[in-house]
Amino acid sequence: MIKDKIQKFNILKDYQINFNDNIAFFKAASSSIAEISNDLYYKNDFSLKLITATDERQEYGCFKLWYIFGSKEENFFIVPFVEVYDKFEFVSISLLINEASKYESRVENLFGLKAINHDNQKSIVLHENWPKDLFPLRKDFDWKNRPKIALNNLHSFHKVKGEGIYEISVGPIHAGIIEPGHFRFSVMGESIVRLEPMLGFTHKGSEKLFEILPLEDKIKLSEKISGDSSFAHSLAFCQALEKLNNTDVPKRALYLRVIYSELERLANHFGDIGAIMTDAGFNFGGSQGGRLREIIMQINERLTGSRFLRGVNVISGVKKDIKDTEKEYLNNKLEFISKDFQDVLGIAFNSTSLLNRLEGTGFLSLDISKKHGITGLAAKCLGVSNDARLQYPYGAYADLFVDKIVENKGDVLARFKVRTREVFSSINIIKEALAKLPDGEINITDLTIDFKKNDFSISIVEGWRGDIVYFIKTDQNGFISRVSPRDPSFVNWGLMRDAVLNNIIPDFPLINKSFNLSYSGNDL
Q: Region 474-489: what's the mean pLDDT?
A: 96
The pLDDT value given to residue 517: 94
Greatest CA separation for the chain = 71
Q: Which residues pair with 186 in a beta bridge?
A: 167, 194
Per-domain residue ranges for the chain?
2-116, 206-523
- How far is Cα 109 from Cα 132, in angstroms, rounded to an integer? 8
d(CA 394, CA 462): 9
Closest CA to 22 of 250, 249, 243, 316: 243
Question: How large a percentage of the chain has pLDDT more than 90?
Answer: 76
Average pLDDT, the chain: 92
More confident residue, 294 or 173: 294
pLDDT tens for each residue of 245-303: 999 999 999 999 999 999 999 999 999 999 999 999 999 999 999 999 999 999 999 99
Question: If pLDDT is split at 50, 70 and 90, which confidence band does 179 have?
Answer: confident
Q: What are the pLDDT digits (tens) for 303-335?
A: 999 999 999 999 999 999 999 999 999 999 999
Q: How far apart are CA 487 and CA 349, in angstroms?
A: 32
Residues 6+ apart with CB under 8 A from 144: none
Q: Which residues, 6 or more positions from 142, have their beta carbon under 8 angstroms from its beta carbon?
A: none
Q: Domain 2-116 classified CATH 3.30.460.80? A: yes
Over residues 412-458, the pLDDT tens digits come to 999 999 999 999 999 999 999 999 999 999 999 999 999 999 999 99
Q: 377, 388, 455, 461: which is closest to 414 by C-alpha?
A: 377
Query: Model-level pTM?
Result: 0.95
Buried-exposed string 454-478: b where 16+ CB fall within 10 A, e elsewhere: ebbbbbbbbbbbbbbbbbbbbbeeb
CA distance 460 to 390: 11
Residues 144 and 223: their CA atoms lie apart, in Å, by 22
Looking at residue 7, its pLDDT comes to: 77
Q: What percent of the chain lies above the pLDDT cut of 70?
A: 98
Per-residue confidence (pLDDT) for residue 122, from 0 to 100: 65
Instruction: Find, among 74, 68, 65, the residue nearest to 6 by Cα.
Output: 74
| Ordered alpha helix ranges (H), 437-507 | 488-492, 496-499
226 within 8 A of 376, measured Cβ to Cβ? no
120/115 Cα distance (integer angstroms): 10
- What order do you get walking across the sheet with 62-70 strand by strand? 18-20, 23-27, 77-84, 62-70, 47-56
Q: What is the SS3 assignment for 115?
A: strand
DSSP 304-373: HS-TT-TT-EETTEES----HHHHHHHHHHHHHHHHHHHHHHHHHTT-HHHHHHHTTTT---HHHHHHHT
Band (119; pLDDT cuts 50, 70, 90): low
Q: At what angle do helices 230-244 and 215-222 cross, to 10 degrees?
A: 140
Query: What's the pLDDT score for residue 225?
Result: 95
User: One-letter amino acid identity for 337?
Assistant: I
User: What's the fold here for domain 206-523?
Assistant: Cytochrome-c3 Hydrogenase; chain B (1.10.645)
Residue 202: CB atoms within 10 A of its CB come to 17
Distances (CA, A) of 304 to 2, 89, 256, 312, 420: 38, 48, 11, 7, 25
Asked whether the beta carbons of 108 and 137 are under 8 A apart, the reply is: no
pLDDT digits (tens, 9 = 90+) for 133-165: 889 999 999 888 888 887 776 777 888 888 889
Give the pLDDT confidence score for residue 241 in this predicted structure: 98
- The per-residue pLDDT for 56 is 95
Find out whether 63 and 83 touch, Cβ atoms under 8 Å: yes
What pLDDT is stored for residue 215 in this prediction?
Answer: 93
pLDDT band at 176 (very low <50, low <70, confident <90, very high): confident
Contacts of 445 (CB under 8 A, 6+ apart): none
Residue 343's pLDDT is 96
DSSP string over 139-185: TTS-TT--PPPPSS----PPPPPSTTEEEEEE-SS-STTPPP-EEEE
Question: pLDDT band at residue 352, thresholds of 50, 70 and 90?
Answer: very high
**Looking at the predicted structure, is the pLDDT value of residue 123 above 80?**
no
Which residue, among 359, 379, 361, has the nearest Cα to 465 in the 3D structure?
379
Coil, strand, or helix at residue 412? helix
In this prediction, residue 359 carries a pLDDT of 95
Q: What is the pLDDT of residues 356-407, one digit of tens each?
A: 999 999 999 999 899 889 999 999 999 998 899 999 999 999 999 999 999 9
Which comes out higher in pLDDT, residue 40 or 153? 40
Distance CA(429)–CA(194), nearest Å, equals 41
- Going along 6-93, which residue ranges are E strands? 18-20, 23-27, 47-56, 62-70, 77-84, 89-91
Q: Specify the pLDDT at position 149.
A: 81
Q: Average the pLDDT over 197-211 and give the result.
A: 90
Q: How confident is the model at residue 128, as a pLDDT?
A: 76
